[in-house]
Copies of this chain bind each other. A is one copy, B any other.
Amino acid sequence: MTDQSATEPLYGAGLWHFGQFRDRYATDGYGPPVSTLEAIDAAGQVGSLSVVDINYPFNPADLDIAAVEDALKANNLRAIALTPEIYTRTFCRGGFTNPDPEVRRQAIELVSQAADLTRRLGGDYVKLWPGQDGWDYPFQADYKALWAMSVEAVRELAQRHPDLRFAIEYKPREPRNRMTFSSAARTLLAIEEMDVPNVGILLDFGHSLYGLESPADAAQMIMARDRLYAIDVNDNFRGWDDDMVVGSVHLVETFEFFHTLTQANWQGVWQLDQFPFRENSVEAARAGIEVMRTIWRALQVLDTEALAEAQARQDALAAQRIARTALLDAQRA
């Protein structure tokens, strides 16, 4: 069943994977500060990464774009996207939905600058993760107003940069207790309201998982509307965005997720969004890619015809056996 001609996907990672992690307890950081150039070098050391998604502003903020380009080149990496940081202190009460119209404007302008740099770097999309847009308390917000501000901000950006694509990464919660773009379906509704052709979705496997979605189903729904611009993978214990190494908990569902993408002939990058707080970040990236490669090999030996027949009968036992067999055979595929 193995298709010898099948080409392995490109692998990528968010550059923050190689940065300094903090949280509300280890406020001094889980390790020393890491500059953008150092992070690019670390990404290069992984050995099998082709692209990176880079936080913007760079670290330090005055880092020259040419230096970034050089570092990428030196490490055989390409910038697939920029992620404007519209979730730091300035935006902690909201980026696109901040009650202060000036801060909303700042958020939009920061994204717009990132868009300009994405163009220069030859990226595929601008990543939008408005992590501070949402609410924390019952009664705190006028939901209708928040929704409108979110929709309008992204529409404005898409219209100002019609040659670029904007990928919204939805997430159920964190850092806000509840977020505006919280699920695949909500984000699709928002995109429809925007009525622009260049806004789509970055599906983060872990966000989908702990948001009570079946990630493969969410991917299917987004692809049916041609809006799956990118994916991030990682894993968690289903109650929070733990950003663990791919497949460390949900090996079967990760396999199903990539199977669904492959069946739909989705051609994007298989991209890591892991937070190895206490692990070596280069090793953690290698581990994630190792698992993705195992899954890729499993896809080559998967009996897709038998699986489709089992699924037509909704025969869980048969479908699971077919999938498990392929997964366990992947080692030697």
Contacts and interface: CB of A to CB of B under 8 A. Distances in A.
Interface of A: 20-31, 87-89, 92-94, 99, 131-132, 135-145, 147, 172-175, 177-178, 182-183, 185-186, 188-189, 192, 211-212, 214, 216-217, 220-221, 224, 237-240, 242, 244-245, 247-253, 256, 259-260, 275, 277-280, 283-284, 287, 290-291, 294, 307-308, 311-317, 319-325, 327-332
Contacts of A30: 89, 92
B212 A172 contact: yes
Contacts of A192: 192
Q: Which of A23, A31, A287, A319 lies at the interface centre, i.e. has the most chain B CB atoms within 10 A of its CB?
A: A23
15 contacts: A22-B22, A22-B24, A93-B314, A139-B319, A139-B320, A139-B323, A174-B240, A183-B186, A189-B189, A192-B192, A245-B320, A248-B316, A249-B252, A251-B324, A328-B328
Given A93-B314, A139-B320, A224-B144, A252 B248 contact: yes
B26 A23 contact: no
Given A26-B175, A248-B252, A140 B330 contact: no
How many monomers of this protein are in the complex? 4
Contact of A214 (B24, B143, B224, B314): B143
Contacts of A260: 143
A55 to B, nearest CB: 10
Contacts of A141: 311, 314
Contact of A245 (B247, B291, B308, B317): B317
Contacts of A25: 87-88, 131-132, 175
Contacts of A323: 138-139
Given A143-B217, A332-B332, A314 B138 contact: no
B311 A139 contact: yes
Contacts of A328: 294, 327-328, 330-331
Contact of A287 (B136, B178, B317): B317
A307 B139 contact: yes
Contacts of A317: 245, 279-280, 283-284, 287
